[in-house]
Structure 1
Amino acid sequence: MTTQLPMIVQNKMEQHHFERLTPIQEKCFETIKNGEDIVAVSPTGTGKTLAYILPFLDKLEKNETLQLLVLAPSQELAQQIGSVCREWLDVTVQVITGGANVKRQIEQLKKKPEVIVGTPGRLHELMSQTKKIKCHQLKSIVLDEADYLLKEEHLHTVRDIVKRAPSQRQLLFFSATSNDTLEHISKWFNTQANFINVAHQTSNVTHGFIRVEERKRSDILRKLAYVNKMRGLVFVQNVGSLALLYEKMMFENIKVGVLHSDTHHIERKKMLDAFKEGNVTFLLTTDVASRGLDITDLPYVIQYDLPREKDIYLHRAGRTGRMGKSGCVISFVSTKQEIEYKKIVPKNTDIKEYIVKDSILQEKHK
């Protein structure tokens, strides 16, 4: 495939020591480059961001007009996508999210970015109330984590943003999971998009559980903190439970950070950086705050609270084992939850049961 790529793409890949395209990148390249609409499904950690960025290396012009708009569900994901765009695209890129200073964002728009990455709420605000984002030259719109962005609570805002672009705009929907929501895209956006699905890929992620009753979960988490090379993204069901768990871990002198929607965006960035650098053992988070997070070489995802849906399990699990690396997903499961747990784990998964003994995480012998 590499020999068929435009020279500008080959050169950029060489600069980044990027040897070959992943399956999703390969399958999307020509379709996106040709201006066609797509719905692309590929597991988390398989290179979806570059799958839609690479084709634009040869499409974007440095002409001070907005040509590419990327929508993301969270501030962190928008910032990550913005960083990748700046690394790979030789145009002006601006990130616009909620939680940041609006006046400063409006001031930065005077630089006339060719690419804007943002969260729907703030983008819609700047488009509808201040008219500071001009969409008349907009050629392509990407919905990253489309399954989430098209949920009922966001759909109206997202559709209104899309309506502001010219009728001939290109629409690109990317998701880690395929569900009923994606099947309504043609109706909601008047598009006959190409459907690209590379959802079935081999994974180096192991899945297992620790049998523990609810009142003992914080004690098990404390023990896990002393396991060699432990660094885990810990999923908690809501902000209230997260705050309580944070206090317990701090009391036990465990190095812990929090990442949730109520945290100020500067604090969130500090916490995320500290975790990525290995200065924090556990990063406690909720589902909304964690979508799309790309944490290099994350060894563990810990589900302190079980998710209610299979799709959420997949999104959580996708934080580890990215780009073919190994990882482990550990779920805390009570005796009553075991049947429920086995229903949400992907089919044909070899589920292991773990125990923590003498600061060692080991498989329980049956």
Structure 2
Amino acid sequence: MEKIVPAFQKHWEEVGFQEPTMIQKEAFTYLEEGKDMVGISPTGTGKTLAYALPALQKVAPSDGVQLVILEPSQELAVQVGEVVKEWANEIQLTTLTLIGNANIKRQIEKLKAKPEVIVGTPGRILELAEQRKLKLHQVRIAILDEADQLLSQDQLHTVREVVKKMPSERQMGFFSATSNEVVAHLQRWFNADPEWVDVTETDDSKGELSHAYIEMPVRKRNQVLKQLTNMDGFRALVFFNDVGSLMTTLEKLQYDGVSAEVLHSEENKTARKKNLQAFRSGKLSLLLTTDLAARGLDIQDLDYVVQYDLPISKESYVHRSGRTGRMKRKGTVLTLVNERDLRNFKQLISPLNIDLQKRQVYQGELVSEKPAVEKEMKTKTVSKPKQKETIRVKPVEQSEKKKKKNRRKNQKNKGARKKKS
């Protein structure tokens, strides 16, 4: 803490921060010394300030764009932009957030204020740079946040084009909760030989996470979601693998009166911002989203993450789980599965050494099993009263009927009394 400027020390105390996290300590040393670095740290351990504080201290006021922070999504760019701006203001630096789907003419107008710090998505930053509205020739530090996502196949080319417009001697920082093959070969892609800092095993600032699953047929998942919202104070980020399934579920939930909205890349910027704010303020019980839209989001006091669809990789599970249980808070990750999903899910997360527990919703609570009394009531069989046995008499056939004697007329009433004379 003695290495950060007095303005930052004062603000650190004002916002109530205490001891820096492990990644904040390690990153400060490398970035302050001007070294390239890769910082791997669990979600919710303060990576934004880990790179922002040392990088901001190296920026000179009124000297053009010197710090560029790249983010994989618009939501994350806005979120990080707000944090960076808060601290940059303490040392009289100007920050500008540049994202797609925003008014580009308005962004060009704001660039005339000559900000020293740019936070944004690679696509919009490259677009403005190619139009020569954004000059990157004075950049001293480039930070790739959520680096494994930024360096995936669909974004790698754009990120490299942005970095090419910066000086070859710029400093680079790569931060994420997980790594991938591209991150492991940065020298090939960016002519950089960064120091590796991985505090995953040693960091003690991560929250206490519970990992559980609820087993049911796929057709009952919406019903279970509705039951979960009946729990006291329940609020969850619900993950889907595709937008189509997400929208279908939203319609059914809203029809049933559940307060739910969506956050996905195909929605317009205004609606996404509105839904995210409503969820953060507690007006919504559920926010349905995808991996890309919710990557890196910091939502205060979020107790639950629900996986409607299984994650496609263990890295995806790590990032989804990281939306809850942040900075020493408790959180629960619930995965909805059927019997087949459960086998695949256990295999997927086996390298993570997670203690996975079975749960079910019972009378507004999440329990490991229903009370024994209810089980007895369900298994108890009610005996039916015995029916009286009815004796069926076999009908007498016509042939078996006693035949009348064929008597002559004078033989009839042979036994009758004789009349008195």
Q: Please indicate the TM-score interval, normalised by the length of the shorter structure.
A: over 0.9
Aligned to 2:226: 222
Query: How far apart are 1:342 and its partner, in Å?
Result: 1.1
State how far apart, in whole Å, the 1-side matches of 2:266 and 2:63 are: 35
One-letter amino acid of the counterpart of residue 169, structure 1: R
Is the Cα contact below 8 Å between 1:8 and 1:58 reproduced in 2?
A: no
SS of equivalent residue, structure 2 residue 112: helix
Q: Which runs of 4+ in 1 moved over 4 A?
A: none
Is the Cα contact below 8 Å between 1:8 and 1:57 reproduced in 2?
A: no
Structure 2: 5+ residue runs without aligned partners? 373-421
Query: How far apart are 1:132 and its partner, in Å?
Result: 0.6
Does residue 1:158 correspond to 2:162, yes or no? no
Q: 1:232-291 deviations in whole A, cap 9, x for unaligned?
A: 000011111111000000000000010000111111111001000100000000111110
Query: Where do 1:54-203 residues align within 5 Å?
Result: 54-90=53-89, 91-128=93-130, 130-200=131-201, 201=203, 203=207
Aligned to 2:322: 318
One-letter amino acid of the counterpart of residue 72, structure 2: P
Query: Where do 1:22-37 residues align within 5 Å?
Result: 22-37=21-36
Structure 1: 5+ residue runs without aligned partners? none
Percent same amino acid among aligned pairs? 45
Is the Cα contact below 8 Å between 2:4 and 2:54 reproduced in 1?
A: no
One-letter amino acid of the counterpart of residue 148, structure 2: D
One-letter amino acid of the counterpart of residue 336, structure 1: R
State how far apart, in whole Å, the 2-side matches of 1:185 and 1:30 are: 21
State how far apart, in whole Å, the 2-side matches of 1:348 and 1:56 are: 35
State how far apart, in whole Å, the 2-side matches of 1:72 and 1:56 are: 16
SS of equivalent residue, structure 1 residue 261: coil
One-letter amino acid of the counterpart of residue 215, structure 1: R
Is the Cα contact below 8 Å between 1:302 and 1:330 reproduced in 2?
A: yes
Is the Cα contact below 8 Å between 2:4 and 2:53 reproduced in 1?
A: no
Q: Describe the shift of the 1:126–1:57 C-alpha distance in structure 2 as closer, same or farther (beyond 3 A).
A: closer
> Which residue among 233, 239, 242 is the counterpart of 2:246?
242
One-letter amino acid of the counterpart of residue 265, structure 1: K
SS of equivalent residue, structure 1 residue 106: helix
Q: 1:146-181 deviations in whole A, cap 9, x for unaligned?
A: 001101111111011001101110111001112222
SS of equivalent residue, structure 1 residue 322: coil
> Which residue among 282, 286, 289 is the counterpart of 1:285?
289
Q: 1:304-357 deviations in whole A, cap 9, x for unaligned?
A: 001111000111000001111110000001100112111233533211111011
State how far apart, in whole Å, the 2-side matches of 1:211 and 1:149 are: 34
Does residue 1:358 correspond to 2:342, yes or no? no
Q: Describe the shift of the 1:186–1:148 C-alpha distance in structure 2 as closer, same or farther (beyond 3 A).
A: same
Bigger Rg over Cα = 2
Is the Cα contact below 8 Å between 1:177 and 1:199 reproduced in 2?
A: no
Aligned to 2:305: 301
SS of equivalent residue, structure 2 residue 327: helix
Query: How far apart are 1:33 and its partner, in Å?
Result: 1.1
Aligned to 2:353: 348
State how far apart, in whole Å, the 2-side matches of 1:122 and 1:210 are: 41
* Alignment TM-score, normalising by the size of structure 1: 0.96
* Alignment TM-score, normalising by the size of structure 2: 0.84
State how far apart, in whole Å, the 2-side matches of 1:6 and 1:117 are: 22
Superposed CA RMSD: 1.4
Query: How far apart are 1:4 and its partner, in Å?
Result: 4.4
Aligned to 2:378: none
State how far apart, in whole Å, the 1-side matches of 2:289 and 2:225 are: 14
One-letter amino acid of the counterpart of residue 355, structure 2: D
State how far apart, in whole Å, the 2-side matches of 1:43 and 1:30 are: 19
SS of equivalent residue, structure 1 residue 241: helix
One-letter amino acid of the counterpart of residue 279, structure 2: F
Query: How far apart are 1:101 and its partner, in Å?
Result: 0.8
SS of equivalent residue, structure 2 residue 189: helix
Query: How far apart are 1:184 and its partner, in Å?
Result: 1.2
Count residues with an aligned counterpart: 364
State how far apart, in whole Å, the 1-side matches of 2:35 and 2:155 are: 24
One-letter amino acid of the counterpart of residue 31, structure 2: I
Is the Cα contact below 8 Å between 2:303 and 2:331 reproduced in 1?
A: yes
SS of equivalent residue, structure 1 residue 180: coil
Is the Cα contact below 8 Å between 2:55 and 2:141 reproduced in 1?
A: no
State how far apart, in whole Å, the 1-side matches of 2:292 and 2:5 are: 37
Query: How far apart are 1:62 and its partner, in Å?
Result: 1.2
